[in-house]
């Protein structure tokens, strides 16, 4: 959840490419993902974002835009849609 909260807040993310995170992050667009033991990769991502203000801003904007589908209103709407589609009368 912390990664989604950061993204919704408009921050680029540097994270491990592990289950769950690969579903919401877009490598090179919303931040960077690296193998958990890739120390050089993490260092590269941190340095790249620290040195490039425009990239940091753009990735932050991308993060905020791509996480809209995880916003509570959207999730509740999708759940309503699923429940209405799959009501008991369809079984």
Q: What is the pLDDT of residue 71?
A: 76
> Between vectors from CA 61 to CA 18 and to CA 46, what angle results, nearest 5°?
50
pLDDT tens digits, residue range 60-85?
A: 999 999 987 777 788 788 888 888 88
Angstrom CA distances, 62 to 11, 70, 79, 86, stand at 9, 14, 25, 33
The domain ranges of the chain are 2-90
Instruction: Spell out the CATH class of 2-90.
Output: alpha beta
Q: What is the pLDDT of residue 77?
A: 85
């Amino acid at each position: 959840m912390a990664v989604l909260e950061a993204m919704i807040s408009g921050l680029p993310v540097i994270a491990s490419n592990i289950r769950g995170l690969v579903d919401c992050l877009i490598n090179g667009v919303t931040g960077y993902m690296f193998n958990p033991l890739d120390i050089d990769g993490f260092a590269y991502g941190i340095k790249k974002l620290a040195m490039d203000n425009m990239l940091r801003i753009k990735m932050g904007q991308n993060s905020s835009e791509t996480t809209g589908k995880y916003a509570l209103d959207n999730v509740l709407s999708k759940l309503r849609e699923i429940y209405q589609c799959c009501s008991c009368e369809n079984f």
